[in-house]
Amino acid sequence: MRQMYFNEEHIEAALGRLTNLIIDINKNQERVNDIYNLIQAGWSQNGAGKKAIEDLEYLRKELNHSVNEIETKKKRLRDDWELIKAVDRSYK
């Protein structure tokens, strides 16, 4: 059976960059939440204010959903990577 070679350093670095991406998305989500709260506190629920609040609420939900998806996929990647490393070690 052929042996597989992995550059663990590069894969770990890529997973680290993914973690940093998630952190950046979370920071952006916090900013959206702050803007949402400011608009909701300062504007009436009529006209443009209501539309802005609805748009921001939709954006908040989408960001939250995206972050959850990314976190789930990151966990799967990490689990798959650990399995690959274990299988690779078992052939050595």
What is the rounded average pLDDT of the residues 68-81?
88
Each residue's pLDDT tens digit, 12-66: 898 898 889 888 888 888 888 888 777 777 766 566 667 777 888 888 888 888 8
DSSP codes, 37-87: HHHHHHS-SSHHHHHHHHHHHHHHHHHHHHHHHHHHHHHHHHHHHHHHHHH
Taking residue 72's Cβ as centre, other Cβ atoms within 10 Å add up to 10
Interior angle at CA 41, CA 38 and CA 44, nearest 5:
115
| pLDDT category of residue 78 using cuts at 50, 70 and 90 | confident
In the prediction, which pLDDT does 92 show?
A: 63
pLDDT above 60: residue 72 = yes
